[in-house]
Every structure is written in structure tokens, then in C-alpha cells.
């Protein structure tokens, strides 16, 4: 009997070890991974004093720099640049008019920096007067054909494998994952379900104004192009409140643009998890933080220790960065 008990104990122990190794397999077994798993275990265990009902297990993720690469510039800006080039023949005035002239010369940085409203002008031109169905297809087609300038990979392959595993792990434990990004909601929604498993109704982002048009043979929602809501910094908690209607219990970001989302999430009662992805791997990806013009991480990094946020060191905490 004693031998049988010992054998059963050994088998159970081996099973637990196997299960543990299958959780977040692209993560190193460091403190960051352990903190995340411990949090999920705590809030999903019915016997835990910190058990959280499934209806309240809301996790929010920034997109650029948190779920996929954002260097050398945000992918949506490459999309806008491609759209401007595609539409240039219809607008000969763009050859001399900024910010379009710089964009057509391939100088994306100068185009977006040419004036305080350059980004608005470019985004408006890239989608204004397109109905939502047409724009949705334009984005899908671009995602199928566009390649990252540094790696020549499709943008769907510039996603972070450890974060994709984390999304799956949370969903398997009763969480609802939402994207909360400063990027355009209409740019993200066409492809997030295929790439991340996050359906369009769980995407919160910056919005342009739209109007409804009805004719004898159609009913359309049309992009007007003017910025209606900026889902960045202070806008992120507001966007979550308006769109989701619940304070999340877990938030994941990588920059100071995510600071207020992390603050609001972790200020709530009960167990909370705040996670910052710190880009430290210049060999497998990029290394940047305080001085970067894209994805600047300074204030949030300073606040992380006192607020108990997990800082994921990409170089040390991830076995691999991108999918095979």
C-alpha cells in the first residue's frame, strides 16, 4: 500500500510538472512568468479568498509594442503611407502639398512631423468617404500583402509569441481579453480575430467620425475622417469605461501611453495585475525605452516598483519573441 501511495504521489507530481511546463512555453521560468501564473491561479480558484467570478475577469492589452512590434514606426502609419501612394494619382496637388509631398517621397517621419495636424490629415485622406465594408476589405488586403521593412515578414508574423500564448492562457481560464490601443479601431478590427483570437467587438481604439447614408439600393456607414476619440493615455480608461463598462483586473502595456490604463486597472479593489513589456532585446527585436520617439517608456517604468507592476524583460523573460 505504501508503495502504491508513493507511486500515485509521483504520478500526480509528474502531471503537475508537465502541466506547468505547458503553460506559457515561450516564457522563461522567471519571476515575471511566475507572478502571472500565480495571479491567474489565485483569481480562478473557487477556494481562494481572492477568487474572481468569470464575468469580472477582464484583461486589457495595448497593441503596438505589447502584442506586435512597433518599431521603426507604428504599423498603421505604414498602412497610411501605402494608402497615400495608392491614391496619389487621383490627387496631383499632393506632389507639392504637405504632409503628402513628404509621404510620397518616402519620408514618413517628416510627413507626420510636418505640422501638428499632419497625422489627422493623412489618416483622413486614407479612409475618408469609404464605407465601413470597403475600408474593412482594404485593411484585410493590406494585411495579406504588406511586409515589415526590417524583416520582410507579414505583420501577422511580427506578433509576439509569448503574448499570443498569454492571450490563450487567459481565455482558457475564463478571462475576456480586450485590445485597448491608441491605434485606429477601424484599422485593427478587420484582423484581430484571425491573428489574436480577439473578435472586433472586443477592440477599443481611436475613432474617426462616421455618418449613415441611406439610398434606394443601399444603407452604408461612411468614414468622415475627422478624429472623434483619441484612445491614448487618459483616453484609455475612458475608452474602457465607455466600451466595456467594467474596470479590468489585469492590464498589459509597454509605454507611457499605457500609464493611465495601468493606474486605473490596478487601483481597483481585490486582486489586480499590471504588466509592462520592456523592450530590452536588440538582437531579436529592438531595445528602447526612455529616449524613444516610438513607444517611449519612462514614467510608467519609474512607477512600476511602487505600484507592484510586473516588468517583463524581453531579453531575459522570453525564450523566443516571434512565431516560427
pLDDT digits (tens, 9 = 90+) for 158-192: 999 999 999 999 999 999 999 999 999 999 999 99
Q: Do the domain assignments include residue 126? A: no
pTM over cut 0.85 = yes
Total domains present in the chain: 1
- DSSP assignments along 175-215, one per residue: -EEEEEEEEEHHHHTTTHHHHHS--GGGEEEEEEEEEEEE-
Per-residue pLDDT tens digits for 101-137: 999 998 988 898 878 788 888 988 999 899 999 999 9
Q: Do the domain assignments include residue 200? A: yes
Name the E strands within the chain.
58-61, 176-184, 203-214, 219-229, 250-253, 273-278, 310-313
Q: Do the domain assignments include residue 149? A: no
Q: Do the domain assignments include residue 237? A: yes
Burial class (CB in 10 A: 0-12, 13-18, 19+), 67: buried
Residue 1 has what pLDDT?
A: 47
Q: Do the domain assignments include residue 178? A: yes
pLDDT, mean of residues 79-85 = 95
Q: Do the domain assignments include residue 277? A: yes
Of 208, 150, 168, residue with least CA distance to 61? 168
Q: Do the domain assignments include residue 295? A: yes
CATH number for 203: 3.40.50.1000
Owning domain of residue 271: 25-73+159-317
Identify the band that residue 226 occupies on the pLDDT scale cut at 50, 70 and 90.
confident
Q: Do the domain assignments include residue 58? A: yes
Per-residue pLDDT tens digits for 269-309: 999 999 999 999 999 999 999 999 999 999 999 999 999 99
Residue 69 has what pLDDT?
A: 98
Amino acid at each position: 500500500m505504501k508503495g502504491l501511495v508513493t507511486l500515485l504521489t509521483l504520478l500526480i507530481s509528474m502531471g503537475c510538472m508537465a502541466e506547468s511546463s505547458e503553460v506559457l512555453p515561450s516564457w522563461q521560468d522567471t519571476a515575471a512568468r511566475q507572478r502571472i501564473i500565480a495571479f491567474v491561479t489565485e483569481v480562478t480558484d473557487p477556494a481562494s479568498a481572492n477568487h474572481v467570478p468569470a464575468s469580472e475577469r477582464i484583461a486589457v492589452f495595448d497593441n503596438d509594442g505589447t502584442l506586435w512590434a512597433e518599431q521603426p514606426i507604428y504599423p498603421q502609419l505604414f498602412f497610411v503611407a501605402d494608402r497615400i501612394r495608392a491614391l496619389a494619382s487621383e490627387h496631383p496637388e499632393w506632389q507639392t502639398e504637405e504632409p503628402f509631398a513628404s509621404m510620397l517621397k518616402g519620408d514618413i517621419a517628416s510627413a507626420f512631423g510636418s505640422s501638428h495636424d499632419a497625422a489627422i490629415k493623412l489618416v483622413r485622406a486614407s479612409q475618408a468617404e469609404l464605407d465601413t465594408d470597403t475600408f474593412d476589405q482594404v485593411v484585410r488586403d493590406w494585411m495579406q500583402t504588406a511586409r515589415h521593412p526590417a524583416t520582410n515578414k507579414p505583420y501577422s508574423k511580427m506578433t509576439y509569441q509569448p503574448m499570443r500564448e498569454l492571450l490563450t492562457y487567459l481565455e482558457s481560464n475564463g478571462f475576456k481579453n480586450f485590445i485597448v490601443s491608441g491605434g485606429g479601431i477601424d484599422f485593427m478590427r478587420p484582423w484581430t480575430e484571425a491573428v489574436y483570437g480577439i473578435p472586433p467587438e472586443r477592440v477599443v481604439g481611436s475613432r474617426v467620425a462616421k455618418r449613415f447614408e441611406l439610398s434606394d439600393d443601399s444603407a452604408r456607414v461612411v468614414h468622415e475622417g475627422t478624429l472623434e476619440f483619441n484612445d491614448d493615455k487618459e483616453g484609455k480608461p475612458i475608452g474602457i469605461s465607455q466600451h466595456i463598462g467594467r474596470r479590468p483586473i489585469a492590464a498589459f502595456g509597454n509605454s507611457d501611453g499605457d500609464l493611465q490604463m495601468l493606474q486605473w486597472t490596478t487601483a481597483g479593489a481585490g486582486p489586480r495585475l499590471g504588466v509592462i513589456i520592456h523592450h530590452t532585446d536588440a538582437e531579436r527585436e529592438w531595445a528602447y525605452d526612455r529616449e524613444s520617439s516610438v513607444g517611449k517608456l519612462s514614467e510608467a517604468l519609474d512607477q512600476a516598483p511602487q505600484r507592484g507592476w510586473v516588468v517583463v524583460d524581453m531579453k531575459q523573460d522570453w525564450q523566443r519573441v516571434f512565431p516560427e
